[in-house]
């Protein structure tokens, strides 16, 4: 009887953490920085932070899909820079709308290429994306000769600086739309069930008739698509696409958000809502430390510790739920 009660208590604690742990951490961060930094709690700063969170949060959608299949992609920072300079450089010839569409299309294609290397050539995702990290960044340097591409097109700039009804930053609305679409894909379509099945047990999924390679290619392509959208938001916010500065340490921010959000590195389990809240945590944490004038190198230390902390919390959650992680 005591053992049963102990197991039930563990499960309740695991469920509580899974449902409320991240929001509590987020609220705690807001409270701490509101006390320690007077400029943190202003409406302008808070709204700006939610807008900046879209930069991490949108790509975290695609990374959630990829990690749910048991893979990951560390090339997305360089991909973000490459597609940003390519798409923005097309604006004088094909206009802002064409530039935006071409950016998303190119990013999706680059994600597709990563997926092909991982599935058809059987190159591990870590090796593939590590190589592409250098390839994409180098191509961005070569294409621009390491000169930023400045953006003046109103349509493009609206993605980073526009406001709905003059109040709500457009990046927030865009992030919400992306998450709603991703939720429908993951929870309301056969594709979502296939992604979960592949991540849980790829061999069993193949035996049940699921084309495992196609699903993996699809999630890498979707990651590219969302990175393309994030690239537009980021470059629009800055007013330029800089091949050297865009996407620095981006992959670690996104992976940290996804893992902190509750997605298991081994695949199968994932949470889009968790990734969204975790993206807010990563963004608000960085902003708070910046306002407190914490050295940028120590901010990187904090990001690394948060990633380790995230993995530890996930293991604790799955242990409490008795899921063997």
Q: What is the pLDDT of residue 41?
A: 83
Q: Among residues 265, 233, 268, which one has the least CA distance to residue 250? A: 233
Spatial contact of 266 and 324, defined as CB atoms under 8 Å apart: no
The answer to whether 221 and 111 are in contact (CB under 8 A) is yes
Signed CA dihedral, 289, 305, 223, 317: sign only:
negative
If you search the block for the tokens 């992959």, which residue do you land on?
251
Q: Which pLDDT belongs to residue 321?
A: 63
pTM (2 decimals)? 0.90
pLDDT of residue 292: 86
Whole-number Å distance between alpha carbons of 160 and 54: 10
Crossing angle for the helix pair 212-238 and 190-200, to the nearest 10 degrees:
110
What would the CATH number be for the domain defined by 18-321? Answer: 1.10.3470
- Helix 212-238 × helix 76-89 angle, to 10°: 60
Q: How many residues does the chain have?
A: 325
Place of tokens 């379509």: 189
70 Ramachandran zone, left/alpha/beta (phi>0; psi -120 to 50): left
What is the spatial distance between Cα 129 and Cα 181, in angstroms, rounded to a whole number?
26
pLDDT at 18: 67
In sequence order, the 6+-apart residues with CB closer than 8 A to the CB of 2 are: none
Domain boundaries, the chain: 18-321
pLDDT for the residue 323: 60
- 3-state class (DSSP) for residue 137: helix
Check residue 296 and give its pLDDT: 79
Q: How confident is the model at residue 152, as a pLDDT? A: 93
DSSP helix/strand/coil, 267: coil
What does the pLDDT read at residue 177? 95
Q: Enter the DSSP assignment of 17.
A: I
Q: In three state form, how does the secondary structure of 171-225 look? A: HHHHHHHHHHHHHHHHHHCHHHHHHHHHHHCHHHHHHCCCCHHHHHHHHHHHHHH
Nearest to 76 by CA among 234, 200, 300, 285: 234
Q: Residue 66 in contact with residue 254, Cβ under 8 Å?
A: no
Cα–Cα distance measured from residue 199 to residue 69, given in angstroms and rounded to the nearest whole number: 4
What is the per-residue pLDDT for 142? 96
% helix, strand, coil for the chain, step of 5: 80, 0, 20
What does each of the 325 residues of the chain score in pLDDT, given as a tens digit?
Answer: 566 677 767 677 767 766 677 888 888 889 988 998 888 888 888 888 888 899 999 999 999 999 999 999 999 999 999 999 999 999 999 999 999 999 999 999 999 999 999 999 999 999 999 999 999 999 999 999 999 999 999 999 999 988 887 778 899 999 999 999 999 999 899 999 999 999 999 999 999 999 999 999 999 999 999 999 999 999 999 999 999 999 988 998 899 899 888 888 778 778 898 899 989 988 898 888 888 888 878 887 887 787 777 777 767 766 666 665 4
């Amino acid at each position: 009887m005591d053992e049963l009660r102990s197991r039930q208590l563990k499960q309740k604690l695991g469920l509580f953490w899974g449902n409320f742990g991240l929001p509590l951490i987020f609220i705690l961060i807001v409270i701490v920085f509101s006390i320690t930094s007077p400029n943190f709690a202003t409406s302008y700063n808070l709204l700006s932070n939610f807008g900046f969170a879209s930069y991490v949060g949108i790509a975290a959608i695609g990374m959630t899909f990829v990690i749910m299949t048991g893979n990951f992609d560390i090339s997305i920072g360089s991909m973000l820079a490459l597609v940003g300079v390519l798409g923005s450089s097309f604006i004088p010839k094909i206009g802002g709308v064409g530039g935006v569409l071409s950016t998303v299309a190119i990013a999706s294609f680059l994600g597709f290429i990563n997926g092909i290397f991982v599935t058809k050539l059987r190159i591990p995702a870590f090796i593939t994306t590590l190589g592409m990290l250098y390839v994409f960044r180098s191509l961005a340097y070569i294409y621009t000769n390491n000169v930023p591409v400045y953006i003046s097109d109103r349509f493009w700039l609206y993605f980073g600086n526009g406001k709905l009804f003059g109040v709500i930053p457009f990046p927030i609305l865009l992030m919400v739309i992306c998450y709603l679409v991703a939720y429908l894909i993951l929870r309301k379509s056969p594709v979502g069930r296939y992604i979960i099945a592949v991540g849980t047990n790829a061999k069993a999924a193949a035996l049940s008739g699921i084309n495992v390679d196609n699903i993996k290619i699809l999630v890498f392509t979707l990651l590219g698509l969302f990175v393309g959208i994030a690239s537009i938001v980021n470059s629009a916010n800055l007013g330029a696409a800089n091949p050297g500065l865009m996407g620095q340490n981006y992959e670690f921010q996104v992976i940290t958000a996804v893992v902190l959000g509750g997605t298991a590195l081994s695949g199968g389990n994932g949470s889009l809502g968790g990734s969204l809240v975790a993206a807010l945590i990563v963004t608000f944490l960085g902003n708070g430390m910046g306002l407190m004038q914490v050295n940028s190198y120590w901010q990187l230390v904090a990001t690394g510790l948060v990633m380790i902390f995230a993995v530890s919390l996930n293991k604790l959650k799955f242990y409490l739920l008795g899921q063997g992680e």
